[in-house]
Amino acid sequence: MVSKDQAVGWVIFLICLIVGILYTVGLFYYGAPQEWKVADWLIAIPVFIAFIAIMGIGAWIGWTMATTPPPKPIEEITSEIEEEEKKEEKETEKAKELEEATETEEKGKGKTKK
């Protein structure tokens, strides 16, 4: 199931991709670059590179949003934490009981040796 964030990510990705393609086609196909002078190229190339870089970053952000799984609900996280705490409490209780049993055995052995 696609979450709202993933859907927004796909929209951002597709918009950036389409705008980048349309800008490239519009600049080099409809812009008649064969009629440009050197001054036109000196302006167009850095602007083109910057614009495509910005569209690439936007597409990357959209792709990341679209492919990242949605986070777990807070209720699940808190229930997992509570379960882990209960397990730790049981383990510490077992360790204390084992320690106490070992101590009583040692005391019992010490009394019989005297």
What tens digit of pLDDT does each residue of 7-38 get?
999 999 999 999 999 999 998 888 787 888 99
Q: What's this model's pTM, rounded to 2 decimal places?
A: 0.62
User: pLDDT tens-digit profile of 28-75?
Assistant: 888 787 888 999 889 989 999 999 999 999 999 999 999 998 877 777
HSE-up of residue 105 (Cα within 13 Å, Cβ side): 6
Q: Name the 3-class secondary structure at 59.
A: helix
Q: Name the 3-class secondary structure at 73.
A: coil
